[in-house]
A = this chain, B = another copy of it.
C-alpha cells in the first residue's frame, strides 16, 4: 500500500477511504479478479461503494503500472497485480492444471532484441507455456 500512497501523492490525488479499500483489497487478491468480483469484495467492508469508483481506481492502477489488464476471452476484463519482486512467467499443466512459475533472463533479452528489430519498445509481456508436468507426462 505504501507504493499506492506514494502514487497518490506524486500525482496530487486525494487519499480517500474508497480508494484505500479498493487498492488494499486488490493487492491482497492473488487471482485474476474482475471488476464485478472486486466490487463485491470491497462492498463487504464498504457497502455504499459504487461500480464506477472501482472502475476508476483500477484504471488508475493500470495506467500507473501497478495492475495489468488481462482478457481471457470470457467477456470480462480481469486484473492481475504486478509482483513487486520482478515478474515471472507461467507454465501450465493442461492435465492437472498445476502452475509453475519461472523467469529466464535470456528469454527476456531476446524479446527486447526482437522487438527492437520491429521498431517496438516493450513495456511488458505475457508468456505462458502449456503442456504436461512431470506427474502427468
Interface residues of A (CB under 8 A from B): 69-73, 77, 91, 93-94, 100, 102, 104, 106-107, 110-111, 114-115, 118-134, 137
How far does the alpha carbon of A69 sit from the alpha carbon of B73 in the complex, in Å? 8
* 10 pairs, A vs B, C-beta closer than 8 Å: A70-B73, A71-B72, A100-B118, A100-B120, A102-B118, A119-B133, A120-B133, A122-B129, A122-B131, A124-B129
How far does the alpha carbon of A72 sit from the alpha carbon of B129 in the complex, in Å? 16
Measured between beta carbons, the chain B residues less than 8 angstroms from A70 are: 73
Given contacts A125-B129, A127-B127, contact A134 B120 (CB under 8 A): yes
Contact in complex: B125, A127 (CB < 8 Å)? yes
